[in-house]
Amino acid sequence: MRKKIILIGLTLFLSLLAACGGSDNGLESIQDSGTVEVGFANESPYAYEEDGELKGAAVDIATAVFAELGVDNVEGKLSDFGELIPGLQAGQFDVVTAGMAIQPDRCENALFGEPEMVYGEGLVVEAGNPLSIESYEDIADNPEITVVVMEGATEVEFLKSEGVADDQIITASDIPATFSAIQAGRADATTGTEMTVRMAFESADTEDLEIIESFEQPDIDGVPSYGAAAFSLENEELRDAYNEKLEELKEDGTVAELLEQNGFHPESNFVEAGSVTAEQVCQGEY
């Protein structure tokens, strides 16, 4: 009986060991397989799918970095934005490439690479802007206004910090869905990163909506936002290797070029190596 118990215990131990090994998605295993699985949220121009192809500034930067690490196959896994970090924690992705803003609370649940881009906020409303919305404060000052935001996006907390009430904020799965909410009369405005809402607005090609060119950027922590790749808390080696190659690609002009190719400004949206670090942003210094 004792031998049987020992055998069962040994079997369970080996099974657990095998399971742990099977879930390893660190640097060495990714390099051995030649494939990295990236989570993205279908948000142009950061990371999105078009005609079955993964595109966007964050995708192009990550692809260039992983190529330098000897990993040439980048496989995208579409997810709702709010599920990207939980997906990292669950081992569904090796890395998130969505231009995700580094935030102190997110830093508790994910390891961020160094900043790859910097960006501000944008606002879209019903054509003609009947409620005269030009800032988050305008939304806070009028409790009748409803604003729709992509689920999991930083703008939810930005709005709250400017005094917008919880019952004024609703969420949707992605940017096109926020536009649809305005067109259907379920919301009066939507906000997101400037490049996202601008490109989505241009793609929508509708007379029902208007982008607010005079939008007042909120004077709050986290604006402007610094976008970066994110890794699981257990994947420090992969994050560090990524950062090393990212710095080289910043210094040789590759990152600025890839930003420009995706509609970003190669200077105003570019973060020079060492000028702002992920650690500083995680600590709330930016």
Q: What is the pLDDT of residue 23?
A: 35
11-27, pLDDT tens digit by residue?
A: 444 333 333 433 356 89
- Residue 58 sits at the vertex; the CA angle it makes with 55 and 61, to the nearest 5 degrees, is 95
Helical axes 254-261 vs 57-68, angle rounded to 10°: 150
Q: What is the pLDDT of residue 183?
A: 98
Question: Which residue, 286, 160, 136, is CA-closest to 216?
Answer: 136
Q: What is the pLDDT of residue 2?
A: 42
CB atoms within 10 A of CB 1: 5
**Is the separation of the CB atoms in 218 and 140 below 8 Å?**
no
Q: What is the pLDDT of residue 25?
A: 65
Q: What is the pLDDT of residue 134?
A: 97
Question: Which residue, 267, 193, 229, 238, is CA-closest to 116?
Answer: 229
Identity of residue 111: L
Q: What is the pLDDT of residue 265?
A: 87
Q: What is the pLDDT of residue 191?
A: 98
Output the six-digit token pair for 19. 């399971």
Question: Which residue, 148, 152, 185, 154, is CA-closest to 169?
Answer: 148
Give the dihedral sign, CA 7/8/11/12: negative
DSSP bridge partners of 139: none
Per-residue pLDDT tens listing for the chain (286 residues): 444 444 444 444 433 333 343 335 689 999 999 999 999 998 889 999 999 899 999 999 999 999 999 999 999 999 999 999 999 999 999 999 999 999 999 999 999 999 999 999 999 999 999 999 999 999 999 999 999 999 999 999 999 999 999 999 999 999 999 999 999 999 999 999 998 999 899 999 999 999 999 999 999 888 999 999 999 999 999 999 999 999 999 999 999 999 999 999 898 899 999 999 999 999 998 8
